[in-house]
Structure 1
Amino acid sequence: MTDKSLSEIEDGVAAVSDIYARRFEIERDSGWYLAKLTEELGELTAADLKCAGKGRPNGKSAENLKRALADEAADLFAHLLLFCRDREIDLQEAVRDKWLSYLSAAEQAD
């Protein structure tokens, strides 16, 4: 698989989400995007607890638990992209402005 830009990933995630919504006749509104983001965070938390030995592994191997954790992280990331798309937030720009600006400030202080 070739590396994709964040906008290409976002477009792919949106296309998959559109297919899913059509297939299951889901009406997505602004509340849906936030609810899904919250749901996926809960699922990531549960998967992480299982990996840390603080949740029931349900007979899954350590490798399967790690794969489930990665899958839930991907779900959360995808739903964050969908949430930002719905809210017209440019996530790359927001991260650059909020987080990466500290790098220049730290470099200037050194």
Structure 2
Amino acid sequence: MHLCGRPLGLRLSDVGELIIADAYLGLFAINWQEEKVIKILGAGELPTNDEKAPPIKYLNDLDILPDGRIIFSESSAKFDDRDFILDLFEHRPNGRLLIYDPRKKT
């Protein structure tokens, strides 16, 4: 799954793109009219310019806000599902919510 992906969140945007939160590969948009797959944020990439922020590890789900921003969740910024037992043993708040603004590309 870590090679081919595991989409866990799917939503259609107001502009007709399919937005995908893939657990292993990151956040993507599929533009049907242009027949393009657009990588918004890939696994292992930093979600912000803050170098202290952990890179994307394991996305879970997403939703699209009325203003077009995409809010998405990450189950753990430290472990993926192959190491879920480590997350259970550590028992720390490793998850987070992130927001992407497609107009500003931030």
Both structures adopt the same fold (TM-score exceeding 0.5): no
**TM-score scaled to structure 2, two decimals?**
0.24
Higher strand fraction (1 or 2): 2
Q: Give the number of the structure whose residues are more often helix, by fraction.
A: 1
Question: What is the TM-score of this pair, normalised by structure 1?
Answer: 0.24
Q: Which has the larger radius of gyration?
A: 1
Q: Highest relative contact order (Cα 8 Å, sep 6+), 1 or 2?
A: 1
